[in-house]
């Protein structure tokens, strides 16, 4: 079967997908993002969360990401407003001066939460950049992607580990 864009009508016009006939199921998605810090920002993390004039970086990023999850339909034109039943964002130091952000979102609805998870991870990453920009402009967001999803007619997905 040929793949097509679901957000285009047969006439090629943009539209929101009608999910009325879809079954309500439990759905979950996990998305991730990385923020690569410069040496100065990375060293400031040596003792844990960075406290700035704007507040604690990690806590603020988690709050911003959670707010973004709940408002995804306002950001992405054809996303359905969803009842978000669970959202958990974690931020941890990783390799190569990168912070690893993971956003897990859950709902019981007719459509998935991949866009909500991606939006949450992205907003958390953007907040870290905003709060750490005093260390220099050479901060970078990398690898925003869906790690896994469950539920729905397209089935489950698990991103393959990098080789």
Which 3-state string (H, E, C) describes the chain?
A: CCCCCCCECCCCCECCCCCCCCCCEEEEEEEEEEEECCHHHHHHHHHCCCEECCEEHHHHHHHHHHHHHHCHHHHCCCCCCCCCCEEEEEEEECCCCEEEEEEEEEEEECCCCHHHHHHHHHHHHHHHHHHHHHHCCCCEEEEEEEEEEECCCCCCEECCCCC
List the catalytic residue out of 18, 47, 49, 130: 130
**Annotated catalytic, 156?**
no
Residues annotated catalytic, as ranges = 130
């Amino acid at each position: 079967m040929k793949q097509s864009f679901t957000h285009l009508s047969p006439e090629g016009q943009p539209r929101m997908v009608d999910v009325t006939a879809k079954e309500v199921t439990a759905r979950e998605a996990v998305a991730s993002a990385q923020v690569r810090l410069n040496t100065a920002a990375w060293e400031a993390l040596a003792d844990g969360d960075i406290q700035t004039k704007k507040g604690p970086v990690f806590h603020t990023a988690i709050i911003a990401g959670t707010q973004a999850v709940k408002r995804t339909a306002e950001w992405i034109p054809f996303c359905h407003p969803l009842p978000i039943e669970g959202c958990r964002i974690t931020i941890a130091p990783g390799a190569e001066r990168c912070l690893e952000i993971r956003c897990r979102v859950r709902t019981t609805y007719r459509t998935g939460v991949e866009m909500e998870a991606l939006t949450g991870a992205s907003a958390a990453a953007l907040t870290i950049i905003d709060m750490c920009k005093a260390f220099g402009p050479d901060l970078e967001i990398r690898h925003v992607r869906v790690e896994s999803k469950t539920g729905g007619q397209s089935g489950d997905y698990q991103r393959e580990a990098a080789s």
